[in-house]
Amino acid sequence: MTVRNDLCDLPDAAVAFLLQYGPAMAGAERDEQAGYVPSFCLAKSRGTVYDTFMKTPTLPPNYIQRSLGRPALLLVSLLIGFFALCQQVQSATDTPDPGAKPLSNTADGQGALLSITTGLYNSAFGFDSLLSITDGNFCTGVGAGTLLVNTGDQNTAVGAGALLSNADGENNSAVGAFALFNNVSGNANNAHGLGALESNVDGSGNNAFGKSALLENVSGGGNTAIGDDALFNCNGNENVGVGHGAGFLITTGNNIIAIGAGVNGVSTQFGEVDDSCYIGNIYGAVISDNAAFVFVDADGKVGTGAVDANGNKVALPSPQAMLNEFLKGQKRVAELESIVAQQAQAMEVLTAQLKEQAAQIQKVSAHVELSKPEPQIVNNNQ
C-alpha cells in the first residue's frame, strides 16, 4: 500500500505517519494507478490545493468548503497532532522560527502568520495559525490550523482547527476544537465549545455555547443556542434554544423559542411552527394556593399585575379569590339545583292531584246525567 506523495506533497515523515495510521483511523479511497490515497489528500483534486502544510493553500472559484467531509476531520486532527509532536520532540534551540513579522504582529509556531504583509495587530500561536492572512487586522489564532485560510479582520480562534476554513468572514469568535470549522463568509458569529457551529458556512449573527451547539447550521442567522447539542439540527433564523438538547428537532423553523433540557421546539399536533414558544416543566406542575396569574400583554411582556394607560394599577383577581368565587358559584348552583328538584317534585304532586280531581269531576258528571228524570209528553187536545 502506498500514499501518492505527488498528490499530497507532504513531508516524508508525514507520509510514513499516514501509512501507519491514516487508512485505519480516517478511511482511505483507492486510486486505480497508485493504490490507497488518504481522503484528506483527495481534497486537492476536489477543489483545495495544499502544496505543503507550510505553504499557502489555493482556493479555486468553485471551492466547496464541505468537501473534506467529517471522516476527514479525524485525519486532519491526526496530521495536526503529528506535526505538533514533531515540534515537541525537537530541542528548544531547534524550534521552527516563523521569522520576523511586520510591526505589531506576533507569531510563534511553524507557518504562523506565514503570508502576512501589511496586516496589523495580528497574533498567531501554533502550527500554521493564520497561515494565509496578508493584509487583515486584529486577528488572533491560538492552536494548530486556527484561521488557516483567513483573510478577514477581527476574527478570534482558540482551539485546533477553529475557524480553519474562514476566508473573508469577519468579527467571528471560535473557542473549542473545530468550532466554526467550515465557516467561509459568515460574520459576527460566536462559537464556544467542541464542534459549535461546525457546519456554518455563511450564516451570520449566531451564538452557540456548548458542545455541538448549532452544529448543523449552514446558512441560518441570528440563532442563539446555549447548552450541549442545543439547536443541533437548526438551519432556520432567529431561533433560541436554552438547555441541553433544547430545540433539537427544529430544522427550518424561524423565531422558535425552546427553553429547558430536552424541550424539542416542535408541536406534537402542528409540527414545526414559526413564532412559537415552548417551556419545559410547566404543564402539569403543581403549585400552592398562594399564587398569582401570569398575564401577557401585546408587547410580549409578562407579569402578575396590570396598569392602565395612565400608569395606575388595575386590580386583578388572584387565583385564590377566583377560586373562592368559583366555589361560591358552585355552591349557589347546587342550591338552585336542589330548589329546582324540589319544585319538580311539587309539580309532580300537583299534577297527580289535578289528574285525580279531573277523574272525580268526570264521575260526578256521569252520575248527574243518570239522575235526570225522563221527559214527559202532554196532550193539549184533552
Domain coverage including residue 70 = 5-92
Q: Tell me how many domains the chain contains.
A: 1
Quick one: how many helices (H) and strands (E) in the chain?
A: 5, 17
Q: Is the pLDDT of residue 275 over 80?
A: yes
Q: What is the pLDDT of residues 43-77, one digit of tens each?
A: 333 333 333 333 333 333 333 344 345 545 555 55
Q: Is the pLDDT of residue 18 over 90?
A: no
Q: 200-219: b or e for each residue (b if 16 or more CB lie within 10 Å)? A: bbbbbbbbbbbbbbbbbbbe
pLDDT over 70, % of the chain:
72
Q: Which of 4-8, 136-140, 143-147, 240-244 has the lowest mean pLDDT?
A: 4-8
Is 301 within the bounds of a domain? no
pLDDT at 233: 98
Q: What is the pLDDT of residues 132-179, one digit of tens each?
A: 999 999 999 999 999 999 999 999 999 999 999 999 999 999 999 999
pLDDT at 47: 36
pLDDT at 193: 97
Q: Which of 255-269, 273-287, 321-335 has the lowest mean pLDDT?
A: 321-335
Q: Is the pLDDT of residue 15 over 50?
A: no
pLDDT at 212: 97
If 0-12 CB within 10 Å is exposed, 13-18 middle and 19+ buried, where does residue 117 land?
Answer: exposed
Is 21 within the bounds of a domain? yes
Is 106 within the bounds of a domain? no
pLDDT at 315: 82
Reduced 3-state DSSP string for 256-316: CEEECCCCCCCECCCECCCCCEEECCCCCCCCCCCCCCCEECCCCCEECCEECCCCCEECC
Is 70 within the bounds of a domain? yes
Q: Is the pLDDT of residue 279 over 60?
A: yes
* Contact between 113 and 96 (Cβ < 8 Å): no
CA-nearest of 131, 130, 148 to 139 is 130
State whether residue 87 is helix, strand or coil: helix
Is 42 within the bounds of a domain? yes
Of the two residues 345 and 64, the one the predictor is more confident about is: 345
Of the two residues 295 and 137, the one the predictor is more confident about is: 137
pLDDT at 44: 32
Place of cell 277523574: 359
**C-alpha grid cell for residue 12?**
516524508
pLDDT at 28: 39
Is 372 within the bounds of a domain? no
Q: Is the pLDDT of residue 95 over 80?
A: no
